Amino acid sequence: MNWRGLSAGLLGRIDISLPVTVLEEAIARHGAQSWFVYALAGRRERKHVWWPTLWLARRLSSSARILETGCGCGLNLLWFRQHGFRDLAGLDIDPTAISAARELFERAAGAATLSVDDALSPKSLAAERFDAILALNWTYHVEQFDLLRFIQVYHRYLACRGYLVIDVIDAAYNMTPNNQFLTSDSEKAEQLRRPSEYKNRYSETEVREATRQCGLRIIRSEACGDNAIVPRRVYILARCA
């Protein structure tokens, strides 16, 4: 049992102990995206990110192996590190983000295995098994993402009693007016609007079917939309009993 993680999960300790200035310095030094500053400052409003970390923290032991795909500069992994988890790994296709993540972990006197890798076709994982694998806030931005293939790739890295966590944009968004356009362009004339940042959307039926084909099952789903316009849902998957 990880008492620090259990306490964080039960008490809803969402925040990361990291001064924004430290993150800004690391981002500037490595040329990473300034968006990560927003991700830290606005963490409380981003339920799709913190809700699954609390859920996992209540259930995993301190020795649990945790992998975050598309980890960016490692903010979620830092949260796990600060709440008693030690066996952490992350991968991201952006080398500047991984460089910033390594610096943040060094400054926090923590350790994590951080790799530059394509999370759709990872090469750095070998035959490892993880108790939790996370894919949060990135898969729906990737044009070539395919949910079934993604689950097929990662279910073989999942420990026997492990959890695979992914958030998706619900297919209900397809019925929203102007869903085909970038949300930040909503005030622009239609001819000036760019394509939506949400490249793919899935209904619960589609998620359930892809999960079933891979020998997994949905054990929990949670609506985590940032607003009333874009419906987002987190799914927690596990192997069939």
pTM of the model: 0.95
The pLDDT tens digits along the chain (241 residues) read 677 777 877 778 999 999 999 999 999 999 999 999 999 999 999 999 999 999 999 999 999 999 999 999 999 999 999 999 999 999 999 999 999 999 999 988 678 999 999 999 999 998 889 999 999 999 999 998 999 999 999 999 999 999 999 999 999 999 999 999 999 988 899 889 999 999 999 999 999 999 999 999 999 999 987 566 889 999 999 997 6
Question: 171 lies in which domain range?
Answer: 3-239
Question: What residues are paired with 154 via a beta bridge?
Answer: none
The string over 65-101, giving b where at least 16 C-beta atoms fall within 10 Å of a residue's C-beta and e elsewhere, is bbbbbbbbbbbbbbbbbbbbbebbbbbbebebbbbbb
Strand ranges across the sheet with 65-69: 113-116, 87-92, 65-69, 130-135, 158-169, 232-239, 216-223
CA 46 → CA 57, 62, 71, 79, 137, distances in Å?
A: 17, 25, 15, 14, 10
Give the whole-angstrom CA distance, residue 27 versus residue 36: 8
Place of tokens 């995993």: 60
Nearest CA to 50 out of 40, 59, 60 is that of 40
Give the whole-angstrom CA distance, residue 160 versus residue 215: 12
Q: How many domains does the chain have?
A: 1
CATH for 117: 3.40.50.150
Nearest CA to 196 out of 182, 175, 177 is that of 182
